[in-house]
Amino acid sequence: MEISFRFLVIYLVILFSFAFIGVAASSSSPHEDFLRCLSLHSPNSTLISQVVYTPINSTYIPVLDYSIQNLRFRTPCTPKPAVIVTPVEISQVQATVHCSRTYGLQLRVRCAGHDYEGLSYLSGVPFILLDLLNLRAITVDAENARAWVQAGATIGELYYSIGMKSKTLGFPAGSCPTVGVGGHFSGGGHGMMLRKYGLAADNIIDAQIIDVDGNLLDRELMGEDLFWAIRGGGGNTFGVVVSWKVRLVPVPKIVTVFDVGRTLDESTINLIHKWQYIAAQKLPDELYGRMSFRRPDWNATIQFSLQALYLGGATELLDVMGSTYPELKLKREDCTEMSWINSTVFFAGFPGQPLEILLNRSSDTKNYFKNKSDYVKKPISKFAIEEILKWFFMEEPGVPFMIWSPYGGIMSEISESSIPFPYRAGNIYDIQLSAAWTRGSVDEASKHIAWVRGLYDFLTPYVSKSPRAAYINYRDLDIGMNNEFGNTSYWQAKVWGTKYFNRNFDRLVRVKTMVDPSNFFRNEQSVPPFFLEDGKLEPM
């Protein structure tokens, strides 16, 4: 009774805000009204005009393209924003939220544009692109092992700032330095220190967000429910994150890395098979070793590589590997000792290059790609591994790529409901499968996408079920999506929502209903609020 009354009130609020939009948007086109509103609501109208782009500005396309990672979404036919705003001040973020809401324009928020499906910079309806790339200040407090990082920064910029301040502090996030903290932390974020320190989102201790009403809220003001939801519940759903406060983690002065490659044959199948039993369950938390598979050219067979970070010296590492994984025959020459910050450059794929490469937001080679993800809870048999790897011969060499990333360690100790990311104890590793290609034709795309989907179907018996788990940062619209009207039902969203969030999905829906009942912040895979149908709340 009490609950349905609350939702009735929310429903009336929605009705009123739609009525208000109707009146406001009467005269000119919505985006002209938006521009006028923006200028009116910005403290300095000269300043705002310098960060607003429409298709008449010659810099509109370069600014739009700058952060697009997946070339599938950088074509003349890709839907484009009516306006791009690249705020340099928080008040401009507030004005952008206020004015797009007032004029019924959808808002897409972008940090560094790595979303696999391009959701941060494209939409099927008229929209505004809020690109945070200018808001990327980082303040490191090494003494207290804390940092504030603005949401437009990349993880490479964060690592660099930490490295400049301390040789014994680090941060557990992804290995590709061009990934943005805005999207990455909003979806969890994992990398080479996952087994020791968990996800990036496990290490967030405060945040500043702009809510649907344009208010700036920190942890205390937003409350623990919303603070819980933004640490992994997906971006563009609860508000615009302006900055994160993170806990930095201790790292030794010297760490050890290796990246050893092997060609596929009978003995290496044994190696791969055994990896499943040790990588998450036997190795110390200080050691993280992920396995990847590729087929470089027509004449070659499959190459796999084991890439690892050990938070300690090489001698110790060799001891550990000798006793748990002697089959790898790891040698001293395979191992390189270095500082943690140098290891981030190594795993970024630029071994030995100056640290400044971490600041380069366009160091990636861009291509066309489709990736999908899975979780493995029971080791896959040798026979099945061979069958899976046969798929690499059904595609052009160079196109298929697969990574197996181990869990375990502290990941098995953190509770499933600690933050929205649910895949903790019981998950041995995640699989990321992908096809990446360099020619832009539609035929190419459909051929390669069909291959990835085919392999994904083939994996069904070997991976998690009910739900078939997926990782939101490896965005995949194949697993289900919202409708385009913004009125997606709880049940429709639960199809994809359960795969990403499992039992945390319902709590995310409750938080969303509380903070954004009109579903202003949304995309194809944002958690929707409850909607009233026939005066009744849908059952949970």
Ligand X SMILES: *[C@@H]1O[C@H](CO)[C@@H](O)[C@H](O)[C@H]1NC(C)=O
Give the interface with ligand FAD as residue ranges (CB under 6 A): 69, 108-116, 119-120, 132, 151, 174-176, 179-180, 182-184, 186-187, 189-191, 235-236, 240-241, 364, 473, 523
Rounded to whole angstroms, how far apart are CA atoms 78 and 64? 11
Decide whether 163 or 180 has the Cβ nearer to ligand FAD. 180
Q: Cα–Cα distances in Å, from 109 out to 47, 137, 480?
A: 20, 18, 21
Q: What share of the chain is helix, strand, coil (3-state, %, to 5)?
A: 40, 20, 40
Task: List the single partner that 179 binds among ligand FAD, ligand X, none, CB under 5 to 8 Å by kind.
Answer: ligand FAD
Q: How far is the CB of 135 from ligand X (least distance, A)?
A: 16
Identify which range of 229-237, 312-320, 325-333, 361-369 contacts ligand X by CB under 6 A: 361-369
Rounded to whole angstroms, how far apart are CA atoms 351 and 138? 25
Q: How far is the CB of 417 from ligand X (least distance, A)?
A: 28
Q: How far is the CB of 23 from ligand FAD (least distance, A)?
A: 29
Pairing mode of beta strands 83-85, 127-131: parallel
Contact flags string 435-464 toward ligand X, x per CB under 6 A: -x----------------------------
Contact with ligand X (CB under 6 A) among 360, 396, 398, 468: 360
Q: How far is the CB of 360 from ligand X (least distance, A)?
A: 4
Please identify which of the residues 116, 325, 474, 490 carries the catalytic annotation.
474
Query: Residue holding tokens 């949304």?
Result: 522
Q: How far is the CB of 239 from ligand FAD (least distance, A)?
A: 7
The helix (H) or strand (E) run that includes residue 423 is none
301 in contact with ligand X (CB under 6 A): no
Annotate 308-347 with b (16+ C-beta within 10 A) or e (fewer).
Answer: bbbbbebeebbebbeebbeebebeeebbbbbbbbbbbbbb
Q: Is there a contact between 121 and 111 (Cβ–Cβ < 8 Å)? A: no
339 in contact with ligand X (CB under 6 A): yes
Rounded to whole angstroms, how far apart are CA atoms 90 and 41? 12
Decide whether 11 or 228 has the Cβ nearer to ligand FAD. 228
Contact with ligand X (CB under 6 A) among 322, 487, 495, 538: 487
Instruction: Give Cα 482 distance to the centre of its chain.
Output: 19
Decide whether 222 or 314 has the Cβ nearer to ligand FAD. 222
Q: How far is the CB of 14 from ligand FAD (least distance, A)?
A: 22
Burial of 180 (0-12, 13-18, 19+ CB in 10 A): buried
Task: List the single partner that 119 binds among ligand FAD, ligand X, none, CB under 5 to 8 Å by kind.
Answer: ligand FAD
Rounded to whole angstroms, how far apart are CA atoms 46 and 88? 12
Contact flags string 42-71 toward ligand X, x per CB under 6 A: --x-xx-xx-xx--xx--------------
Decide whether 421 or 462 has the Cβ nearer to ligand FAD. 421
Q: How far is the CB of 138 from ligand FAD (least distance, A)?
A: 14
5 in contact with ligand X (CB under 6 A): no
Task: List the single partner that 297 binds among ligand X, ligand FAD, none, CB under 5 to 8 Å by kind.
Answer: ligand X
Q: Is there a contact between 69 and 113 (Cβ–Cβ < 8 Å)? A: yes
Q: Is there a contact between 522 and 528 (Cβ–Cβ < 8 Å)? A: yes
Count of residues that interact with ligand X, criterion CB under 6 A:
32
Task: List the single partner that 92 binds among ligand FAD, ligand X, none, CB under 5 to 8 Å by kind.
Answer: none
Who contacts 292 (Cβ-Cβ below 8 Å, separation ≥6)?
A: 304, 305, 307, 401, 402, 403, 404
Q: Is 490 a catalytic residue?
A: no
Burial of 109 (0-12, 13-18, 19+ CB in 10 A): buried
Decide whether 112 or 229 has the Cβ nearer to ligand X. 112
Task: List the single partner that 161 binds among ligand X, ligand FAD, none, CB under 5 to 8 Å by kind.
Answer: none
Who contacts 190 (Cβ-Cβ below 8 Å, separation ≥6)?
A: 172, 173, 174, 199, 200, 405
The helix (H) or strand (E) run that includes residue 512 is helix 505-515
Identify which range of 206-214, 305-313, 335-343, 380-388 contacts ligand X by CB under 6 A: 335-343
Rounded to whole angstroms, how far apart are CA atoms 392 and 317? 32
Task: List the single partner that 104 binds among ligand X, ligand FAD, none, CB under 5 to 8 Å by kind.
Answer: none
What one-character DSSP code corresponds to residue 294?
A: E
| DSSP-based three-state secondary structure for 389 | helix
Beta bridge pairs of residue 150: 243
Q: How far is the CB of 114 from ligand FAD (least distance, A)?
A: 3
Contact flags string 370-409 toward ligand X, x per CB under 6 A: -x-----------------------------xxx------
Q: Which residues ranging from 112 to 141 are in contact with ligand X (CB under 6 A)?
A: none
* Among 191, 183, 199, residue whose Cα is nearest residue 67: 183
Q: What is the DSSP string of 99-112?
A: HHHHTT-EEEEESS
Q: Which residues ranging from 27 to 46 are in contact with ligand X (CB under 6 A)?
A: 44, 46
Who contacts 392 (Cβ-Cβ below 8 Å, separation ≥6)?
A: 293, 294, 295, 302, 400
Question: So which residues are the catalytic ones?
Answer: 474
Residues that bind ligand X (CB under 6 A): 44, 46-47, 49-50, 52-53, 56-57, 297-299, 338-339, 342, 352, 354, 360, 362-363, 367, 369, 371, 401-403, 432, 434, 436, 485, 487, 489
